[in-house]
């Protein structure tokens, strides 16, 4: 349930970025995507960490 919610959220953000692609600078867009991916990596790391801590 949580995974699908995250995926839909990411998809919505991606669609939003595509819609703003014309107004935003390409460099700024790349930076934003990189920041988003780092946040996702950190969140996945913490979720795995807590999952193994519970077990």
Q: Where are the domains of the chain?
A: 2-19+26-54
Is residue 25 left, alpha or beta, with left meaning phi > 0 and alpha meaning psi from -120 to 50? beta
Please state the pTM of the whole predicted model: 0.41
Q: Report the pLDDT value the prediction gives residue 42, as an integer from 0 to 100.
A: 86
CB 38 within 8 A of CB 26: no
What pLDDT does residue 35 have? 92
Quote the pLDDT of residue 38: 92
Residue 1 has pLDDT above 60, yes or no: no
3-state class percentages of the chain: helix first, strand second, coil last, to nearest 5: 85, 0, 15
How does pLDDT run across 2-43, given as a tens digit for each residue? 778 887 888 888 888 777 766 666 777 788 889 989 988 888
Q: How far is CA 6 from the centre of its chain?
A: 8
């Amino acid at each position: 349930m949580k995974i699908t919610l995250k995926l839909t959220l990411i998809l919505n953000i991606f669609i939003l970025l595509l819609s703003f692609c014309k107004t935003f600078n390409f460099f700024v867009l790349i930076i934003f995507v990189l920041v988003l991916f780092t946040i996702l990596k950190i969140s996945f790391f913490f979720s795995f960490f807590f999952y193994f801590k519970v077990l």
